[in-house]
Amino acid sequence: MINGHAHGPQEGTATCQLHMRKFHEGEEVVVEPWRATAFPIVKDLMVDRSAFDRIIESGGFITAETGGAPDANLTPIPKPVADAAMDAAACIGCGACVAACPNSAAQLFTSAKVSHLNLLPQGQAERYKRVEAMVDTMEEYFGSCTNHGECEKACPKSISIDFIALMNSEYLKAKFKNRKRLTQK
């Protein structure tokens, strides 16, 4: 937090990209660590963000066998879908969304990680398993989203809260489909 703002006063900018010229001459600049229960302070400005790592470990990967690498142009992906996947993949996992949220929710981070994999063809095979595992892991460490929108405003990559709605929809589908599979066994 810089002067009470995640990443400082310039929207859409990470701390490492913030120039001192954005502050007034002689202005006092207060830098403090993220304040969220899921990010305990280690020392000085260091916080333990291992809760994010656990979310990624639970499903933020693709394990489908792909064989040899086919030519990228053989799998057509509509431009809006590719753009949305790239927008979601822009998440740097900084934690500003969690720190800005009054509930310390991690829905923006988790939805970005889920969406960037689930939107592309390679991620389809594990899509329901992934969203269920990642959301369930997230709920162990973070609060619930109540749509304040502070996460989107604090995000240095301007990731949209629309991804949260997409994740919630995918999660409901996953719960239904995974339950249906269990009852068929």
Q: Give me the number of domains the chain comprises.
A: 1
Note whether residue 140 is domain-resident: yes
- 52 Cβ contact partners less than 8 Å away, ≥ 6 residues apart: 93, 95, 106, 109
Q: In this structure, what CATH number is given to the domain that contains residue 110?
A: 1.10.1060.10
Instruction: State the 10-residue block means of pLDDT for the chain, 185 residues long.
Output: 86 87 90 85 88 93 71 81 95 92 94 94 90 96 92 94 96 84 60
Counted residue by residue, the chain has a size of 185
**pLDDT confidence of residue 66:** 63
